[in-house]
Every structure is written in C-alpha cells, then in structure tokens.
Amino acid sequence: MTRLARVGLAILTLLAAFAIVGPWIAGDPNAQPDPVNGSLLLPSPAHWLGTDQLSRDIFARLASGARISLAVAAIAVSVAAVFGSALGLAAGAAPGLAGRLLQRLIDLGLALPRIIVLLVVLAALGRMHYVLLGVVLGATGWPAVARLVRGETLRLRHAQYVAAARALGAPPARVLWYEIFPGTLPAVLVASTLGLADAILLEAGLSFIGVGIRPPEASWGGMLYEARDYIGSAPWLVFIPCLALVAATSAATLLGDALRRSLQPETR
Amino acid sequence: MSRWLLRRTGDAVATALVASVVLIILLHLLPGDPLAAVLGDHPVPPAVEAALRRQWGTDRSVVQSIGAVFAGLAHGDLGVSIVEQRPVLAILGERLGPTFLLGALTLLIDFTAGLALGVWSALHPDAIRARLIGAITIVGYALPSFVVGMLLVWMFAVKLRWFPAAGLSNVLLRPDASVMTTLLDHLKHLVLPLAAMVIATLAVPLRQQRAAALVTAAQPWVLAARARGISPALVAWRHCWRPALTPIVTLLGLWLPMLVAGAVFVEVVFQWPGIGLLLARATQDRDIPLVMGAGLLLIVTVQLGSLLADVMYHVVDPAQRQA
C-alpha cells in the first residue's frame, strides 16, 4: 500500500469515527441557545467551531452532518455494488439475446446523466428520509459497477481456471458463483471506493441546491446551502463544511486510485 | 461512412426516446403526489381537484402519459409549468442562451488549455511541471464545482470586489447604457462562473491528454523524427499531437454529462439564469412538467454530443473509417 493510500484510509477512518462518536459528545445539532446574542459567534471553548445564524453549534451540526452524509454515501455505494454486480454478472454470463438485452440496459443506464435522473426522482418524491436518499443515490449509481463487472465476467469466462472447473463438470451456476463472482470482487471494490467519493459529492451537491437533505436536518451540503447568504459576514460557516467535504472526497479518491493500481495493474 | 453514420444517429435517437420513456415510467412508479404536497392542509372541492389533476396530468395512466409527452413533442409542446403557468418550451427557450454560453466557453477552454497543458507536461516531464499538473488534477478531482464556486465568490467578490458574485447582469445598470458598457457588464458577470466550471472540469481532459501524449512520445517514430534533427516543438506539433487526439475525442462524449452536472451546481452558486438553475429550482418546487422538460432537453443534448464525438473520432482516426 502506498503512502497516499494510507493517508486516504486514515482520513476515512477518522471521519467514520467522527460520524459515530461525534454526535454523542457534541450535543443537539438543532438547539438554538441564544438566537439574539449568540448567533454567528467565532470559535470559543463553549462552541468549538462557533455558531451559525440561528446560534446553533457548528461542531454539533458538523458531527451530525458527518453521520448523515457518510451514511447516505455508504448506503448508496452498497446498493449500487449489489445491484450493479448482479446485473453485470448476469449480462456477462447470460447467453444470446438475454445477455444482449442486459447489455443494452447497462448502456442505457450509462447514457442517462445521473444528475438528471436524480432530480426527476427527487422532484417526484419531495422531502425524504436520509436512508431513502441513500437508496435513491445507489439506484442511480449501478451502471458504472455493472459495466465493470460485466467486463470482468466476460474476461474471466475464458480464464484457464474457469475452463478447468467446467471441464471437471461443474454446472454453469456453480462456475458463475464460485469461480467467476469472486474474481470480479476486486473490480467492485475499486468501483465502490471511487463511487464513495461520487456519492458524497452528489449528496452534498443535491443538499446544496436545496433538494437533498433539507434544513433543519444537518448535512455538509445542507450546511453550505444555509451558509450561502453569510459568506460575506461569516465565511467560516462556508469553509468548515467545505473542508470536511474535501477531506472525505479526496481520501476516498486517493484510496480508490491506490486500490485500482494494486488490484488491477492492467488498467494502468 | 454514411451507413455507419445513419446507424449511429438511429442509435442516438433510440437512446433519447427510451430514456424519456424510462423517466416517465419512473415518475409514475414513484409514490409522492405533487398536487397533495402543494395543497397541503388546504382541502379544495373535488371538482376543483379533478380539474387541477387534469391540468397537471396526474390523473393519467402510464401509457396515457407517454402518449401525451410524445404527442406534445411532435407538436413542439412540453406542457405547462405548474409554478409559472407558462409553456415549458418558452421557459426553456429563455434559459438556453446563458447555459449554452457558459458550456461552450468551458468546453473551448478545457479542450484548448487542457490539451496544450497535457502535451506540454508530457513532453517536458520535469519536477516543477509535474507538480503543477498534479496540483491542477488534485484540485479538479477533490474540489466539487460548487465548493470552487463558493471559494471564488468569497475571494473575488466579497474580499477583493473584482467581480460581481451572482447573476447575468447588473440590475442597476441603466437601460440606455451604451453597448460597450452592457457588454463589459456581462463579461464581468461571466468571469467567476466560467472560472469555477473550468477549474472543476479541466483535470479530466488534461490528465487524459497527458497520458496519451506520454504514450505517443515514447513511439520509435518520434525518436526517429528527433534523430533527423526536427525541432522538439515541430515534433510535438506534427507527430505527437494528432495521434494523441483520438482518446480525447472519445472523452468528449463521456465528459458532456459532467458538464451538465457542473452546470447545475455552478449555476446555482452564481444564480446564473440557465437550464441548471431552472432545473434545481423546479425540483425544489416539484414542478414536474418543467423538470421533465429540462431533463429531456439535457438528455438530448448529451446524446447529440456523444454522436458528434463519434463522428469526430471517425474524422481524426483514419483506421476507424475502414471498420
């Protein structure tokens, strides 16, 4: 593992720990102790990162936001990995017309810009729980995984050890599950790590334009959405969630790139 | 070539059609009733509700909806926006100009500066240049477009006051101002959104072109050209640039969806009155006809772009023409 990958992994671990432990020590993210005199305060011992326009503690919102933003991204990546893998395996292994139809389905998923599908779905559903938002993000993230897994499946079908299993008389389903599927896992892992960065960014972007996680719930993108009007008077309201976002996405990208290099040397 | 082009065009049209059908079906499958959301706690007489449902099209079955959308498309009619009570097509028409301007300029800068920087850094692989390219790449990949946009606003609009923070033009500008003044005002408003778009998207073509140029520069015929005494600049221009162009052309097709996503977020940051800002606001208002209209428009644009990229690929790479 390279040094950059270790840094990425360390940052992600820290952020995950922060998401789990943070909300316990930080208190209620929606408490408004003193809206008259206590808003837009600079960092102090009482409020480690200061307060926002409604006198809410920014550290508490950042912690609660970490939990929501990372949970949404983790759910999205898991849904996309499971659904994409199943479809990719099926498309790669199914013979004749079925395989071609599945391939067209994946192509269609890749041709549709993800952001547009997401906006249409969010317009129809309106305000939603963050778990559901994660599922929706995952439901639009599968084509990238499916394409990779299909490619790996097609490649592994002609691998010698798979031919050997077939020659020993293993039925197709067994070959697919025990021989080909494990071989596609490195590709899924790489796609998921890189997909994690995408999911974090998309959730933040959607919340930033006011259609993802909506106020008063805290997410990093949502904090930016609320802080936009205060960029002149209290720029740290903007900087703090930006920093958290950039840390998370660059960590996931570094780790994903490193994993790709070590797991799939042929794609370099 | 012409048969290939015909088939490729057919493919693009079919994808756009199937994509719109998928979106319509999706809207029907999802729970959520925009009308109920708008009415909220204010019950209306059943007759009024039925009339509203007819007007909004929420009383239609899936098949009727698909039929209505395609019939509308054939007549150049995309329905009426719920919030604005105006034809969707008219609203889209007003928003097309700003988005096209921003997108086209971003594309132009990315694919000239990006290509030049890519080739330049590949041909002179020393530490400083590598570090510069590395910095651009990291910023481009790690910083989301809206974060770049907010930071630019803070730096150049709030702190330095060089450029306006938002909008297409200064509303306080007198209507009888001279053409030069108006143009300059528009340009000033364009700088920050354009910078945000370019910073957020430049890394992809740059990295791709750098990789392609590195491969090309290692070819024996490049060495042979150098051995014949041709200057490095001429070798770069004549021998490295064109073969390295093919991967970038295919990239154009992949890169357009990125431009679309970037446009949505950057337009919101700068309140740039284009399709992206419209789409974001319509989604917030749950104005389904408007969301569908803007979505379809962007899908068709992306399909057109990838079609164009494939055609250019044929032009650039002679080997493709025989296939």
The answer to whether position A268 is within a domain reads: no
The answer to whether position A81 is within a domain reads: yes
Q: Would you state the pLDDT for residue B1? A: 61
Residues in chain B closer than 8 A to A121 (CB atoms): 26, 30
Tokens 């969010």, residue located: A122
Strand partners, B237: none
Dihedrals phi, psi of B87, to nearest 5 degrees: -60, 135
CA of B141, closest CA in chain A: separation in Å? 7
The answer to whether position A25 is within a domain reads: yes
B18 shares contact with chain A (CB less than 8 Å): yes
Residues 6+ apart with CB under 8 A from B7: none
CA of B85, closest CA in chain A: separation in Å? 17
Contact A209 B264 (CB under 8 A): yes
The tens place of each residue's pLDDT in chain B, 323 residues long, gives 678 788 888 888 888 888 888 888 887 777 766 677 667 677 778 888 787 777 776 777 777 778 877 777 777 777 788 888 888 888 888 888 888 888 889 988 888 888 788 777 777 767 777 777 777 777 777 788 888 898 888 888 888 888 887 777 777 777 777 778 888 888 888 889 999 988 888 887 787 777 777 777 778 888 888 888 888 778 777 777 776 676 667 677 667 777 777 788 999 999 888 889 999 998 888 888 888 888 888 888 888 888 887 787 777 766 666 54
How large is the ipTM?
Answer: 0.84
Q: Are B23 and B292 in contact, with CB atoms under 8 Å apart?
A: yes
Nearest by CB to residue A116, choosing from B141, B142, B299, is: B299
Residues in chain A closer than 8 A to B299 (CB atoms): 112-113, 116
Q: Would you state the pLDDT for residue B295? A: 87
* Burial of B99 per CB tally in 10 Å (0-12, 13-18, 19+): buried
Q: Are A233 and A150 in contact, with CB atoms under 8 Å apart?
A: no
Of residues A48 and B184, the one with the higher pLDDT is: B184
Alpha carbon A31 to its chain centroid, in Å, reads 29
Q: Is A19's pLDDT higher than 70?
A: yes
* Burial of B71 per CB tally in 10 Å (0-12, 13-18, 19+): exposed
Number of domains in chain A: 1
Three-state secondary structure string covering chain B: CHHHHHHHHHHHHHHHHHHHHHHHHHHHHCCCCHHHHHHCCCCCCHHHHHHHHHHHCCCCCHHHHHHHHHHHHHCCCCCECCCCCCEHHHHHHHHHHHHHHHHHHHHHHHHHHHHHHHHHHHHCCCHHHHHHHHHHHHHHHHCCHHHHHHHHHHHHHHHCCCCCCCCCCCCCCCCCCCHHHHHHHHHHHHHHHHHHHHHHHCHHHHHHHHHHHHHHHCCHHHHHHHHCCCCHHHHHHHHHCCCCHHHHHHHHHHHHHHHHHHHHHHHHHCCCCCHHHHHHHHHHHCCHHHHHHHHHHHHHHHHHHHHHHHHHHHHHCHHHHHC
Q: Would you state the pLDDT for residue B38? A: 67
The answer to whether position A122 is within a domain reads: yes
Q: Would you state the pLDDT for residue B319? A: 67
Contact A210 B286 (CB under 8 A): no
Q: Would you state the pLDDT for residue A74? A: 95
**Residue-number span of the structural domain to which A19 is assigned:** 3-263
**How confident is the model over A170-196, as a mean pLDDT?**
89
Please give the structure tokens belonging to residue B102: 């921003």
Whether the CA torsion B245, B249, B250, B252 is positive or negative: it is positive
Q: Is A192's pLDDT higher than 80?
A: yes
Tokens 């317009």, residue located: A123
pLDDT band, residue A16 (cuts 50/70/90): very high
A132 shares contact with chain B (CB less than 8 Å): no
Q: Would you state the pLDDT for residue A268? A: 42
pLDDT, tens digit, for every residue of A61-116?
A: 899 999 999 999 999 999 999 999 999 999 988 888 888 899 888 988 888 888 88
pLDDT, tens digit, for every residue of A136-154?
A: 999 999 998 999 999 899 8
Mutate to test the interface with A, among B8, B25, B139, B150 (most CBs of A within 10 A): B150
Q: What CATH number is associated with residue A193?
A: 1.10.3720.10
Whose CA is closest to A79, among A206, A172, A184, A188? A188
The answer to whether position A82 is within a domain reads: yes
Of residues B143 and A131, the one with the higher pLDDT is: A131
Residues in chain B closer than 8 A to A126 (CB atoms): 32, 34, 37, 286
Alpha carbon B158 to its chain centroid, in Å, reads 27
B160 shares contact with chain A (CB less than 8 Å): no
Alpha carbon B196 to its chain centroid, in Å, reads 13
The model scores a pTM over 0.90? no
The CA distance from A191 to A77, in Å, is 9
